Amino acid sequence: MARLSNESPGYAFYAISIACLLIAQSIAYLASNFEFLSQVAWLGLFSFLYQWIIFIPSAYLRTAAYFDVAGSSGYFVLALYSLFRPGYFYTRQIIVTLCVLVWAARLGWLLYQRVQRAGGDSRFDEIKQHNARFFNMWSIQALWVFLVSLPVYCLNSNNADPTLGPQDMVGLGLWLVGFSIEVVADLQKTVHNTDPATQGSFIQTGLWNHSRHPNYFGEIVLWCGLLITSASTFDWPQYISICSPLFVTYLLLEVSGIPLLEAKADSKWGHDEEYRAYKERTPKLVPWFVTQPESDLGVPMISKTDDLESDVTQELSLIHI
């Protein structure tokens, strides 16, 4: 089957967009115990409307400048809406929603900085010239936002407030660990890339010495944590929310995350003995204790490369068809 491109008929992309909307509504229907037009279903619809509204000026101006902003702000706006629409404001709901807001605000800031440094977003140079294909990207992003945040939407729709217990503490602890790993990994990468002494080199220090993709690991862990805490109030149908961390994990491991980055790195540095040694000794995702070799000067070895590994938000915001 040929890969879709700008030469593909527009109806193919619109069909995918419709499929995304149907998937979101089907999952919402199941999570709401087969209740038609439940709060979760409205959130799924709102996710698409939000992205499509921002698509309109983007298509008119032929710009992708708003795409990443729409993604991160979508998490932010929908999380707030899911909390305020029923208006229960239970402690667990407030805490979990705040976790999403903090994560989304940081995501938006990082994406804004990335676009500013790059002077634009070259990922969409071709796509934005094809309205149907461009529209499809916004639809897929809407599904992305909805599925990843589903545990929070289910939690905030429940009129239930059991006492915070060990399950909640475990979940919030995992969120804190995952978020901290993501923040530290991205900070280390930023410092590494802006330091004249290491700028343009391949990072293999700090958390990057223990995992080739520590930011992705943190991303997966934090959403697992929010699922665990949110599940304290779930009815059985709402456990379909497990699709949230599973979806993130699948995309990062198999689709738009690690495979693409590692293939690009291998094509450029597969002949480099030091790179091969780094790849062989360092776990792909889950951090582990790794003894890093030292140069004759007693400092960790660094090999030159482009900035092949982005922060987690760079790959999360790019969806490949």
Spatial separation of the C-alpha atoms in residues 212 and 231, rounded to whole Å: 31
Residue 120 — pLDDT band, cuts 50, 70, 90? low
Asked whether the beta carbons of 315 and 114 are under 8 A apart, the reply is: no
Percent of the chain with pLDDT over 90: 59
Within 10 A of 75 (CB to CB), how many other CB atoms are there? 23
Spatial separation of the C-alpha atoms in residues 88 and 118, rounded to whole Å: 43
Q: Is it the case that residue 106 has pLDDT exceeding 60?
A: yes
pLDDT digits (tens, 9 = 90+) for 215-262: 999 999 999 999 999 999 999 999 999 999 999 999 889 877 788 778
Give pLDDT, residue 189.
83
pLDDT digits (tens, 9 = 90+) for 18-74: 999 999 999 999 999 888 889 999 999 999 999 999 999 999 999 888 898 899 999
Give SS3 for 202: strand
* Residue entry with tokens 């990468």: 189
Asked whether the beta carbons of 281 and 211 are under 8 A apart, the reply is: no
Give pLDDT, residue 122.
65
DSSP per-residue codes, 111-161:
HHHHHHHHTS-GGGTTGGGSHHHHHHHHHHHHHHHHHHHHHHHHHHH----
Give pLDDT, residue 118.
67
Within 10 A of 214 (CB to CB), how many other CB atoms are there? 27
pLDDT digits (tens, 9 = 90+) for 260-315: 778 877 887 788 788 788 888 999 999 988 766 654 434 444 444 444 444 433 43
User: What end-to-end distance do the CA atoms of the chain give, in Å?
Assistant: 12
Structure token pair of residue 91 = 């402690």
pLDDT digits (tens, 9 = 90+) for 184-203: 998 998 887 788 887 766 77
Spatial separation of the C-alpha atoms in residues 96 and 175, rounded to whole Å: 9
CA-based nearest residue to 320, from 137, 67, 46? 137
4-8, 119-123, 280-284, range with the lowest pLDDT: 119-123
Between the CA atoms of 152, 154, 157 and 158, what dihedral angle is there, to the nearest 10 degrees? -110
